[in-house]
Structures are given as C-alpha cells and as structure tokens.
C-alpha cells in the first residue's frame, strides 16, 4: 500500500491532499485587492489624461483666438492708405473698396478689444473680445515706427502689435509687425 492511502478500515480511503474546486475566501480577497489597485491606477491615469486634454484645449483656444485677432489687425494695417495709432488704439483709413469703408478702428478699453467700422458716415461697433469672456485680453500694445518720405511727408513705416490673452491660469502673448503697402494700387 502506498503512503498516504488507507484501506477502508483505516479511515480515509482517499489521498490525504485531495483536489478541491472553487476559490477560497482568502483567494477571493486577494483578487479583489489586486483589482482595486489596478482600478485606482487606471482611474488616476484617466484623470491625468482628461486634465491634460482640458489644458491643451485652453491653450489651443488662446492660440487660435490670438492668431485670428492679430491676423485681422495686421491684414487691415498692411492694406491701409493711412494709419494713426497710440499705445492702445489703431485707426486705419483703408483704400477705396467696394464696401465703402471709410475708417477702421481697433481699441483696447476696460479689458475689452473693440472693432469699429465707419461706412458712409455711420459707425458700427463690435467687441471682438469682451472683458467677461473665457478668453480675455490682458494687454494690447501698439508701437508705431514713423518715417519721412523724400518730400518730407511723415508716414507709418511699420506697426507692431502685442496681444496678451488669458484663459483661466493660462496666458499667451503674441506679437506681430507689419509694414503698410504704400506703393500698392488697389
């Protein structure tokens, strides 16, 4: 007879280390603990990805807004017949055009960037970036470089516009320079 086996009169009649099916409570608790640790790790990673996505959207929105506003200002200046500017205002006299626009103005007042157009003596105003919006103008600075032509007439040689926008805790500063096309015929 093999060790660990007993005959019918000896009692057991089966192998001393018999096979059992199913999980014990201890194995189940260990499995649940491992699963909980994995779920916490996945949740933390997902929260990090979501936070990163939100921050990237804010930065993207700042960059897009800055690019559009600055591009619009610089395009108007580039094609202007005449320009007047101070630190937070640009007044542009556009060339003759089919819309009969006589004057365009960009002005930074009380945290808002305003756009005004004068057509046939009537002024229409629009706030490009209002003070209470998600994306806010923190600063709008205009620097004008003057020059004198061969006849002694002063003109705007170049214009530099610096725009600082904020969205929550994020801030983005962009600067663009442009020279008006003085020798162009439109």
Residue pair 132/41 in contact by the 8 Å Cβ criterion:
no
Domain-located, residue 153: yes
| Mean pLDDT, residues 142-166 | 91
Per-residue pLDDT band for 125 (boundaries 50, 70, 90) equals: very high
- % pLDDT > 90, the chain: 40
Q: Which residue reads 């808002």 in tokens? A: 112
Q: Please state, in angstroms and as integers, the Cα–Cα distance from residue 19 to each residue in 5, 16, 22, 25, 185, following that order.
A: 15, 10, 10, 17, 97
Residue 131: both structure tokens together: 């003070």
Confidence check: pLDDT of 14 > 70: no
Domain-located, residue 132: yes
Confidence (pLDDT) at 6:
53
Confidence (pLDDT) at 3:
58
Q: Please state, in angstroms and as integers, the Cα–Cα distance from residue 79 to each residue in 6, 96, 173, following that order.
A: 106, 10, 24
E strand or H helix at 54: helix 25-78
| Mean pLDDT, residues 154-161 | 90
Strand blocks (E) in the chain: 82-86, 89-93, 101-109, 112-119, 122-129, 136-148, 154-167, 170-178
Domain-located, residue 145: yes
| Mean pLDDT, residues 135-143 | 90
CB atoms within 10 A of CB 72: 14
Confidence check: pLDDT of 4 > 70: no
Residue pair 182/83 in contact by the 8 Å Cβ criterion:
no
Domain-located, residue 13: no
Confidence check: pLDDT of 186 > 50: no
Query: How far is Cα 157 from Cα 159, in angstroms, rounded to an integer?
Result: 7
Residue pair 106/114 in contact by the 8 Å Cβ criterion:
yes
Count of domains in the chain?
Answer: 1
Domain-located, residue 5: no
Residue 156: both structure tokens together: 């705007």
Query: How far is Cα 36 from Cα 9, in angstroms, rounded to an integer?
Result: 50
Domain-located, residue 35: no
Q: Which residues span the domain enclosing 112?
A: 42-178
Domain-located, residue 11: no
Query: How far is Cα 53 from Cα 166, in angstroms, rounded to an integer?
Result: 18
- Looking at every residue in the chain, the average pLDDT score rounds to 85
Domain-located, residue 21: no
């Amino acid at each position: 007879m093999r060790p660990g086996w007993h005959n019918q009169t000896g009692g057991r009649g089966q192998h001393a280390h018999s096979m059992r099916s199913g999980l014990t409570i201890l194995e189940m608790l260990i499995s649940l603990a491992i699963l909980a640790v994995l779920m916490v790790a996945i949740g933390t990673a997902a929260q990090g990805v979501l936070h990163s996505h939100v921050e990237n959207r804010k930065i993207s929105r700042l960059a897009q807004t800055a690019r559009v506003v600055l591009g619009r200002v610089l395009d108007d200046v580039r094609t202007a017949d005449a320009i007047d500017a101070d630190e937070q205002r640009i007044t542009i006299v556009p060339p003759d055009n089919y819309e009969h626009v006589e004057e365009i103005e960009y002005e930074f007042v009380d945290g808002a960037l305003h756009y005004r157009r004068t057509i046939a003596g009537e002024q229409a105003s629009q706030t490009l970036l209002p003070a209470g919006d998600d994306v806010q103008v923190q600063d709008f600075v205009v620097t004008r470089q003057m020059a004198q032509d061969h006849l002694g007439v002063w003109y705007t040689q170049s214009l530099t516009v610096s725009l600082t926008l904020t969205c929550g805790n994020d801030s983005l500063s962009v600067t663009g320079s442009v020279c008006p096309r003085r020798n162009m015929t439109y």
